[in-house]
């Protein structure tokens, strides 16, 4: 397994260095087999996360300047740290503005 293979796998999957390196090692350097391994493992990760509760979040309301319509969205996260993050708050504001 070469650094170029790890780089290619990262570019194709968008996953982290260590995860790609491990998948390539398991696949004996075969990029296509590594991608399949990563797909299977990400499915298992998603299944593990499916039972989690996203109980933290924010509600945002935006109305049109003429008052003809309004949008209200609720976006939740698993932790209050995320719910207070500037990027999260900006995302929520973008979503609610898009609705108006």
Q: Is the pLDDT of residue 89 over 90?
A: yes
What's the pLDDT at 95? 93
Instruction: Please provide the CATH number assigned to the domain covering 3-50.
Output: 1.10.8.10
Domain ranges of the chain: 3-50, 56-98
Report the alpha-carbon distance of residue 11 to residue 30 in Å, rounded. 15
Strand partners, 45: none
Q: Is the pLDDT of residue 82 over 80?
A: yes
The pTM of this model reads 0.51
| pLDDT tens string 14-72 | 888 888 899 899 989 998 898 888 888 776 666 666 677 788 999 999 999 999 999 99
The token pair that represents 3 in the structure block: 């650094």
**CA distances (Å), origin 35, targets 4, 8, 71, 88:** 15, 11, 40, 30
């Amino acid at each position: 397994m070469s650094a170029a293979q790890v780089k290619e796998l990262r570019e194709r999957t968008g996953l982290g260095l260590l995860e790609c390196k491990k998948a390539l090692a398991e696949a004996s350097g075969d990029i296509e087999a590594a991608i399949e391994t990563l797909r299977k493992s990400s499915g298992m990760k998603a299944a593990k996360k499916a039972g989690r509760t996203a109980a933290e979040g924010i509600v945002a309301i935006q109305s049109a300047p003429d008052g003809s319509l309004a949008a209200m969205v609720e976006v939740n996260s698993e932790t209050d740290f995320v719910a207070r993050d500037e990027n999260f708050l900006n995302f929520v504001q973008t979503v609610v503005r898009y609705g108006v």
